[in-house]
Amino acid sequence: MNALGGLALRLSVLAALLATWQLMAVIVADPVFWPTFTDVGAHLASSWIANPTRLAEHLLPSVARLLAGWGAAAVAGIAVGVLIGLSRRARDYVNPIIGFLRAIPPPALLPLFIVLLGIGDGMKVAMIGFGVVWPIIFNTVDGVRSVNPLHTETGRLYGLGAADRLLRIVLPAAGPGIFAGLRISLSIAVILMVISELYAATNGVGFQLVQAQRGFRTLDVWATILLLGILGYALNAMLELVEGRALRWHRGAMRTVA
């Protein structure tokens, strides 16, 4: 009942927003720069969703770059985060370096990456990966350091091997932190994917956005922005689904404490 009411409320807010857009566009009556929501939606459907060639040539490479960069950052970030989290010495050496590197705004690296890596997929994947790895590292370190000492001692007491201690104690205990990092980094990955495709690209959603703007196809600009919004939303929803399953125990345990 409550959840249903909440959903209805959220949907009605969304509906109100779209209705306002629609109304404004009708009042402004400038279909070139201020298309109505229904026009944008229809264009999105016909020019993107019902267009397998465009999806395959532009959406697919974008998603592939995004997932490759984010996935590599996830693997590297969790591995580095666990190492740093478990070793005080590693923390002492590595923390200042990481603190500096993550302060660099990733888009600023684009020119450098183009010089070093060219304008291919590798450069884009590297830029996305570099940009999103920091929140994963930091949140993994936090998660690992928050492992309950009694759990660590229980592992020691019962003579668990290093693999068991890592896979069955440290990683699950750090799970909530790791997923927090993955969620933050996923939204950054979408941003960096678009930026990396605005320049020096021959395909991708970001590239299509610039092409539409250069060709004064405003309706297509609007539709492509909407597509990016939907993409980000869908990726996040999928991650939350995985997180919900992996951390079911955590929510249960939290509820009990509360």
Partner 1 sequence: MTSARIEVEHLGYRYAAGGAPALDDVSFSVGQGEFVSIVGPSGSGKTTLLRCVAGLAAPTSGEVRIDGVVVRDVPPGLALVFQDYGRSLFGWMTVHDNVDLPLRRRALSGEERQRRVASALAEVGLAGSAARYPWELSGGMQQRVAIARAVAYAPQILLMDEPFASVDAQTRSDLQDMALSVWRAHGSTVLFVTHDIDESVYLADRVVVLSPAPATVAAEIAVDLPRPRDQVETRAMPAFVTQRAAVARLIRRPGVGTP
Return residues touching partner 1 (CB under 8 A): 148, 150-151, 153-154, 156-161, 164, 168-169, 172-173, 175, 249-250, 252-253, 255-256
Pick between residue 155 and residue 206 the one whose CB is nearest to partner 1: 155
Q: How far, in Å, CA of 12 to CA of 202, rounded?
A: 40
Q: How far, in Å, CA of 34 to CA of 32, rounded?
A: 6
Pick between residue 173 and residue 228 the one whose CB is nearest to partner 1: 173
Residue (of 208, 224, 234) closest to 43 by Cα position: 224
Min dist CB 239 to partner 1, Å, is 19
Which stretch of DSSP H or E encloses residue 190? helix 171-198
Min dist CB 171 to partner 1, Å, is 10
Residue (of 185, 170, 210, 64) closest to 131 by Cα position: 185
For residue 56, the 8-state DSSP code is: I
Pick between residue 89 and residue 255 the one whose CB is nearest to partner 1: 255
Pick between residue 72 and residue 246 the one whose CB is nearest to partner 1: 246
Given a contact cutoff of 8 angstroms between Cβ atoms, the answer to whether 58 and 207 are in contact is yes
Min dist CB 126 to partner 1, Å, is 34
Min dist CB 249 to partner 1, Å, is 4
Q: Report how far Cα 81 is from the mean position of its chain's Cα atoms.
A: 18
Residue type, 235: L
Pick between residue 109 and residue 247 the one whose CB is nearest to partner 1: 247
Min dist CB 256 to partner 1, Å, is 4
